[in-house]
Amino acid sequence: MPREHRKRGKKHKKQPQEDQIYNHEEEQDLEPEPLQQEPSEPSWIVSSSRTQQEEINREAPFGYVDVDVKTYFRTVDVQIRDWQDSQDEVAEEDVDPNEQKRLFFVAALNEMLGKEKQLATDPECSVILERMTYSMDDFVRRVFFDTLAGSYEQLARHRFASHVCQTLLTVARDTIARETKGIMPAVEDSPDKGELRSLTHLVLDFCEELLPNFPTLVLDPFASHVVRSLLLLLSPNLAALENTQSAVRSKKSSTWKEKQGQMKSVFVDDKGKGKLQETVSKNCPPEFTKMARRLVEAVTTELDDNDTRAMAANRVACPGLKLLLEVEADQGMSSEPGSLMDRVTVGVVSSCRNGDSSNVEESDYLGMLLRDVNSSHVLETVVSRCPDDVFNVLWRVYFTGKLPRLANHPVGNFVLAKAVERVSEEQLSEVFQELEGVWGKSIRTARTGVLRSVVDRTASFPALGRSLSEAVSSAFDIGASENKQLLASCILTLHTLPDYQAAIASKTCEEPNPPPSSHHGRRHTQTTSHPLEQKVQGSLLLQSLLRLPEPNNQFIIDSILSLPVEERIKIAHNAAGSRIYDVLLDAPTVPAKTKRQFIMDFIGHYHLLVDDKLGSRVGDRCWTFSDTYLKEKIARSLISNEQDLAASFFGKFFARNLNLYLLQRRPDEWRNMQSEKKRVSEPDLSKLWPTQSGASLTPLEESPALLDNDKKRKRKSRPRDEIDELFSSALGKRSKKAALADVPLTRAAITKPSKSKDEPTDNSLEQVIGAIRSAPKSDFHQKKRR
């Protein structure tokens, strides 16, 4: 470095050594001591210590967690993770595993008592506390929620404690659902403790504490996601509108949460969780509805028009404003002048209420929302939740005449797709006219959202089905009738017809064969994407086309049925393509004749179809839909491939439904069994064995409780003699009781057994066994019996 650049500022001449010593001593005499300064006087040393102390208090406002306590909770986290990973495995010990878990949790909760706030603000223990919250029962959740009272706002603004509050509000939905149904845990009355409030009242107190500073919490980077979780809890109808996870957490936060492992209870499963959520949606406490309204009114009162519009451009406040607009629309407050919807739309709601909607001019603010990455989500909520007259004004001012540019915009196409979902028939016909020559560009840029929304909206207006088929043909550049069969392949790969044909021509060699593997049916994963790879967007577009009314979806059904069987099997073995067959077999708009023809086309190739993880799933769906006659045709076509199915890793599961041995030996009984399975879709364990009244039977392999009892009985029984085992197995092959363990039982199998001509007679075997049984026992057998 040059010498002149080493020091900044003006150079001073050196003083003589005596002057330096004199000045230094003088400065020492005149310099005041730092300890004698007043606290109010400015000093960089004091300000630094104050700033450091404030940072320490901000990180741990309730104190730090002791090292030994933190070490203990690390062991708790490891144990809970082990239980969650092995929750599906059945324990063979005599001790109840839930009792061990309960004792372990009681010890952990006792250690947590009095340290809840410290653990919630700790970087490591906060995640452990979230994991424990999922396994808490209703009483412990209420106690934990009550211990945080008085510090809700401070915890919501904390970096780590805010996630604990968010998790607590998420799991509180199940407890509140049980409280709504009147299911309350028993609480022991003690004179030294006060009354424990219900979780419903605790959530209301939580809202009361946040209400004075609620608008500022929406703008806080840590408290904003707590506010969104609270709004979803108070308005459960919003959970059905969109994905709750994306509404509460960002992509970065969701990725971090996935790295922490699964979060679920170690005591109970989540089978009845959907019914509980439905109970909350139907029987939401009326206090929650009033509180949600108060929160929206607090934001409307505290913030003016410019502040509200600035929230849409704020990256932190934008998701919160989106949920506030949803709550406002759910409460019926969007049509009022001065509402949040009116402020975001720059007075369009007020103009419609005053009868001035014809004079509304285009605003630059909404134009910015239409093309901004973050703010476009707010405008999507606006166009989907605003009143009908407001939507008509927005469509006329901001969308009409600009559809070609918006359809190909990287951000605006999402807003346009949301707007198309609620257009009228006249407005939809305008969409077909404006986007007549633009569809192909949207396909080349893989922006299919607008076309898929047009397909879904056309289902409500069947008169526009012809325009839709022309739009789809124009989008993929398929005009000639001889190329109609390639439409499904073009849509699935998101290629226009010239691009699809060019990709096939450029494919000079086939894909490399998978390397040899010891596991049959395992596929080799390709690291690079192929030009003809099946896309998720194309699969979703095909599913929407199949759900159209019957006359309008015929062109896409003909295209799928015209594909060769080998191509259909490739689609079935793909994760995106197999979903098309699910819709084809389940959609009520697809004719039953078409479904039957689709299933029959696979006859002769089912052993290739089910030799895959996804293909076996498609084969099971085809088998479930088929009637008894069609099932017999499928089963008889696979008799020659029985060994291939047994050797296949995935095909053997499909072969269990066929029961080819019974079909070859006793076909009448096999048909009766399939008819009974079709009639009784759900097994009834109480009618497993026949009674005197002739109750119907269900398959034996569908009753895991009985099989578990048989396993326990076999473990407890004493070992049998080798000779007895040999003859009992020989006798069991011809007895009806042994046959029941191999094939599903029906009433006809018990009451009317049929004997095939090909079945060999075993009279000679009976004579040999009778002679051996009547013979005297040897000394070896007698000693063994003693």
DSSP secondary structure string for all residues of 539-592: HHHHHHHHTS-TTTTHHHHHHHHTS-HHHHHHHHTSTTTHHHHHHHHH-TTS-H
- Residue 334 token pair: 């969007």
Q: Rounded distance, CA 319 to CA 330, Å?
A: 17
CA neighbor of 174 nearest in space, from 288, 272, 286: 272
Residue with tokens 């005596």: 18
User: Looking at residue 215, what is its pLDDT?
Assistant: 93
Q: Rounded distance, CA 410 to CA 416, Å?
A: 11
User: Looking at residue 88, what is its pLDDT?
Assistant: 53
Angle, helices 449-458/536-546, rounded to nearest 10 degrees: 10
Q: Rounded distance, CA 114 to CA 148, Å?
A: 10
Longest dimension (CA), the chain: 133
DSSP secondary structure string for all residues of 73-107: HHHHHHHHHHHHHTSSSPP-SSS-HHHHHHHHHHH
Q: Rounded distance, CA 703 to CA 688, Å?
A: 8
Residue with tokens 């009433």: 747
Close Cβ partners of 210 (under 8 Å, ≥ 6 residues apart): 152, 153, 156, 217, 227, 230
Give the Cβ contact number of residue 554 at 10 Å: 16
Give the Cβ contact number of residue 196 at 10 Å: 15
CA neighbor of 144 nearest in space, from 156, 132, 154: 132
Own/partner pairs, 95-104, CB within 8 angstroms, 24+ separation: 98/267, 101/135, 101/266, 101/267, 102/267, 104/76, 104/79
Q: Rounded distance, CA 46 to CA 58, Å?
A: 18
* H-run or E-run covering 173: helix 161-180
The 10s digit of each residue's pLDDT in 431-481 is 999 998 899 999 999 899 999 999 999 999 999 999 999 999 999 988 765
- Residue 766 token pair: 């009976």
Close Cβ partners of 294 (under 8 Å, ≥ 6 residues apart): 207, 211
User: Looking at residue 720, what is its pLDDT?
Assistant: 47
Total length of the chain: 786
Cα of first residue to Cα of last residue in the chain, in angstroms, is 103
Are residues 118 and 153 in contact, defined by beta-carbon separation less than 8 angstroms? Answer: no
Residue with tokens 């009355």: 189
Q: Rounded distance, CA 89 to CA 110, Å?
A: 29
User: Looking at residue 285, what is its pLDDT?
Assistant: 87
User: Looking at residue 681, what is its pLDDT?
Assistant: 57
Give the Cβ contact number of residue 338 at 10 Å: 13
Looking at residue 249, what DSSP letter applies?
S
State pTM to two decimals.
Answer: 0.73
Residue with tokens 């936060």: 253
Are residues 415 and 379 in contact, defined by beta-carbon separation less than 8 angstroms? Answer: yes
**Distance, CA of 503 to chain centre:** 35
**Distance, CA of 57 to chain centre:** 38
Angle at 131 between CA 152 and CA 128, to 5 degrees: 80
User: Looking at residue 427, what is its pLDDT?
Assistant: 95
User: Looking at residue 263, what is its pLDDT?
Assistant: 78
Are residues 141 and 199 in contact, defined by beta-carbon separation less than 8 angstroms? Answer: yes
Are residues 334 and 386 in contact, defined by beta-carbon separation less than 8 angstroms? Answer: yes
- Tell me which residues of the chain have a pLDDT lower than 50: 1, 4-10, 14-49, 90-95, 272, 276, 279, 508-528, 682-722, 726-765, 768-769, 772, 776-786
The 10s digit of each residue's pLDDT in 482-519 is 677 889 999 999 999 888 888 888 864 444 444 443 33
CA neighbor of 571 nearest in space, from 617, 521, 625: 617
CA neighbor of 557 nearest in space, from 569, 574, 545, 572: 545
User: Looking at residue 759, what is its pLDDT?
Assistant: 43
